[in-house]
Amino acid sequence: MRRRLILGALALVVVVVVAVVAVPLLTGAGPIPPATVDLARLDAGQRTRLVERGRYIARAADCAACHVAEDGRAYAGGLPMETPVGTIYGTNITPSHDHGIGGWSADDLYRALVYGILPDGGRLYPAMPYTSYHAMTRADVDALSAYLASLPAVEKPNRPPDLAFPFNIRPAIAFWNLVFRPEPGDLPPPAGSAAPAGDHARGRYLVEVLGHCGECHTPRNLAYAMEDDRHLQGEVIEGALAPDITPAGLSARGWTAEDLTGFLSTGLSPQGTMTFRMYPVLHHSTRYLTAEDVGAIAAYLTEGAPPPTRPEPVTTGHTQNPGHDIYLGFCAGCHGADGEGHPAASPPLASNTTAMLQDPRNLVKVIRDGIPARPLAGTGRMQEMPAFGDLLDDGEMAALVNYLRRRWGGQPGDVTAERVAEVGPR
């Protein structure tokens, strides 16, 4: 008996040792393709064009949205990102040798973007979307590397993540990678190529790889990995719903490819304006994309969608709804008595996608917290929507939300005061 126990203990030790040694080796960086450009041989014009191309890649990949500093300094890091397991702070990716990526080669950048592995062998947390960037082309990484190296160095230390146990054990990410990190697959066309508008492969690359849309719009499991069988079907990010952007989901809320093109280019559409985590996407990324690329994104996201549908507005009996008088008192002055809105001032509610979502949290948050005034693309500007959280109690808020959902959203008026309270404080 004693001998069996000893042998069993030894076997367990062997298994643990093999796991600790083998898993990190198996989940390290894979093959790194050769560089597509020899930086040492570039003349001034070639280098300038490569840096400009890299700037475009950085915008298409929306790098600034996570790596901006709290004071607005580009790529200096520090922006907090709330996740279900704690807070992660964007890192400094300027050429600072002490705090940024000044000592990184283009190979190092490729390894981090595609495999989530740092030059010293450390693992990045999957909040860095390497599970989407895993299909970035080497040409795009080379251009991005040249662009980041051209930026002024910002001597700003990084802030360590604040995560709950066991997610704060960074080496354990090797096990996460073993299960959830995809292998680099077939590579889409390189960014910046002259692909025709609506090209499927180009749109797929921009949505699934550079734009990493699935990182916010795909539900995640308990291990914080994206659920592939519910791809782009919507997820709650920092308290707000990133809605379903599958072709069927978009169509059910009345989106067309034309609507999406306008929304991504200007921040405005008949379905509403850019809010929550989508506003930084407009501000740092989509407004800079070419018309061809925005068209390819819109075509890809609506490919194969059924004809757009939109709930028919309720035109009778709504005046008896408990939220009608609240709407007239607080909302109709800007949005119109029939939800028609005012051009360049207040978006229409009769076609607003927020009221059409089954989950009411975005509607509650907008009414309760308001939306600050801020610039959109070009000369466009979103006017401030005041917050009504201090003027309406949870019961009144629920009545107003139900009125909007039933009159224009095609949703039941089943939101309770308790559900409003669950959305949480400001």
Q: What is the mean pLDDT of residues 379-390?
A: 87
Q: What is the mean pLDDT of residues 205-211?
A: 93
238: pLDDT confidence band, cut at 50, 70 and 90?
confident
The answer to whether residue 192 scores a pLDDT higher than 50 is: no
Q: What is the DSSP letter of 392?
A: S
The answer to whether residue 199 scores a pLDDT higher than 90 is: no
pLDDT of residue 408: 93
- Distance CA(47)–CA(169), nearest Å, equals 41
1: pLDDT confidence band, cut at 50, 70 and 90?
low
216: pLDDT confidence band, cut at 50, 70 and 90?
very high
Report the b/e string of 103-112 with b at 16+ CB within 10 A: ebebbbbbbb
Which backbone phi and psi does 54 adopt, to 5 degrees?
Answer: -65, -35
Q: How far is residue 417 CA from its own chain's centroid?
A: 30
The answer to whether residue 425 scores a pLDDT higher than 50 is: yes
188: pLDDT confidence band, cut at 50, 70 and 90?
very low
The answer to whether residue 313 scores a pLDDT higher than 70 is: yes
Q: What is the mean pLDDT of residues 96-109?
A: 96
Task: Give the pLDDT confidence of 282-297 residue by residue, as tens digits.
Answer: 999 999 999 999 999 9
pLDDT of residue 189: 45
pLDDT of residue 191: 42
Q: Which has more pLDDT, 131 or 23? A: 131
Task: Give the pLDDT confidence of 46-71 residue by residue, as tens digits.
Answer: 999 999 999 999 999 999 999 999 89
Sign of CA dihedral 55, 78, 182, 196: negative
Q: What is the mean pLDDT of residues 391-400?
A: 95
Q: What is the mean pLDDT of residues 74-103?
A: 93
pLDDT of residue 392: 94
Q: Which has more pLDDT, 317 or 240? A: 240
- Distance CA(166)–CA(156), nearest Å, equals 28
Averaged confidence pLDDT in the chain:
88
Q: What stretches of 32-180 show up as alpha helix (H) in DSSP?
A: 44-60, 63-67, 106-115, 130-133, 138-150, 173-180
Task: Say what percent of the chain tops pLDDT 70.
Answer: 90
381: pLDDT confidence band, cut at 50, 70 and 90?
confident
Contact 257, 302 (CB under 8 A): yes
Q: How far is residue 376 CA from its own chain's centroid?
A: 18
The answer to whether residue 20 scores a pLDDT higher than 80 is: no
- Distance CA(75)–CA(144), nearest Å, equals 13
Sign of CA dihedral 347, 348, 351, 353: positive
pLDDT of residue 113: 96
Task: Say what percent of the chain tops pLDDT 90.
Answer: 61
pTM of the model: 0.87
pLDDT of residue 55: 97
